[in-house]
Amino acid sequence: GQQVMQIPQYQHVQEGEDFTTYCNSSTTLSNIQWYKQRPGGHPVFLIQLVKSGEVKKQKRLTFQFGEAKKNSSLHITATQTTDVGTYFCAGPGGYSTLTFGKGTMLLVSP
Amino acid sequence: EPEVTQTPSHQVTQMGQEVILRCVPISNHLYFYWYRQILGQKVEFLVSFYNNEISEKSEIFDDQFSVERPDGSNFTLKIRSTKLEDSAMYFCASSPNYSPRLTRLPNEQFFGPGTRLTVL
């Protein structure tokens, strides 16, 4: 399966600041998914990106898929304490499986 | 809203013992998965299951592991002889009822709350 690298591993921001996590692959991805895992919780699907250069928004969250389909980013505008958690990108790992990145843990201080 | 359920929430066992982790996927889903997550690490794929057979499995899923769908609702993961390094959170997931063979894309996966396995 394909490997996806994610940076940063950890980020601590003040409430109201922006946050971005990046996901990179050495090979072209047919698609990429993003999941959020709250502390002590389970991964929850956020979005799937399929098209080259695709940009999707969900309220304060903006997801991008690179033109070459080798990278993706998740940007959160004006973070809130409810944004706390680990954000994982996941690329295709096989026929119907996912390969998760190591995740970016976001801490938001009030 | 339908959700994936898992039991037990926490399982403590002695090394060498067998454990069975249970999952009830969302009822109209056709693909089922097991993942594990060692504390503080990434989510790792173990196995996928479709049409009553294993579809794919990872290197982690060795002979000590098996999966079964004994009836129309349950999906189980068995570890025959647990090792210390099997201690992790085990997540079950299921995917909606369209075939990836048609879309050629992995499905959105719905995860259960997990079972924390502690091997002593």
- Tens digit of pLDDT for each residue in B23-66? 999 988 888 999 999 998 899 999 999 888 998 999 999 999 99
Q: What is the pLDDT of residue B100?
A: 56
Name the residue facing B45 among A42, A45, A98 (closest C-beta).
A98
Least confident of A49-53, B4-8, B81-85, B103-107: B103-107
Q: What is the pLDDT of residue A78?
A: 98
Name the residue facing B56 among A43, A94, A101 (closest C-beta).
A94
Q: What is the pLDDT of residue B73?
A: 86
Mutate to test the interface with B, among A56, A97, A100, A102 (most CBs of B within 10 A): A97
Q: What is the pLDDT of residue B81?
A: 95
Check CB contact under 8 Å for B41 and A50: no
Q: How far does the CA of residue A98 sit from the closest CA of chain B (Å)?
A: 7
- Reduced to 3 DSSP states, what percent helix, strand and coil does chain A have, rounded to the nearest 5? 5, 55, 40
Give the residue-averaged pLDDT of B59-86: 94
- SS3 of residue B103 by DSSP: helix
**Residues in A touching B33 (Cβ below 8 Å):** 97
Nearest-by-CA chain A residue for B91: A42
Q: What is the pLDDT of residue A2?
A: 64
Strands of A4-7's sheet in order across: A4-7, A19-25, A71-76, A61-65, A55-58
Place of tokens 């994982």: A88
Average of per-residue pLDDT values in chain B: 91
Give the residue-averaged pLDDT of A8-27: 96
Q: What is the pLDDT of residue B51?
A: 86
Give the residue-averaged pLDDT of B4-32: 95
What token pair was written down for B110?
């719905």
Q: What is the pLDDT of residue B94?
A: 93
The upper half-sphere exposure of residue A68, i.e. CA atoms within 13 Å in the direction of its Cβ, equals: 8
Give the residue-averaged pLDDT of A36-48: 95
Per-residue pLDDT at B109 exceeds 70: yes
How far is A9 from A104, CA to CA, in rounded Å?
Answer: 5
Distances, alpha carbon A79 to alpha carbons A23, A85, A87, B92, in Å: 20, 12, 14, 30
A40 interface with B at CB cutoff 8 Å: no
Mutate to test the interface with A, among B3, B31, B42 (most CBs of A within 10 A): B42
At residue A97 the predicted structure's pLDDT band, cuts being 50, 70 and 90, is confident
Per-residue pLDDT at B74 exceeds 90: yes
| pLDDT tens readout for residues A55-96 | 999 999 999 999 999 999 999 999 999 999 999 999 987 767
Check CB contact under 8 Å for A30 and B91: no
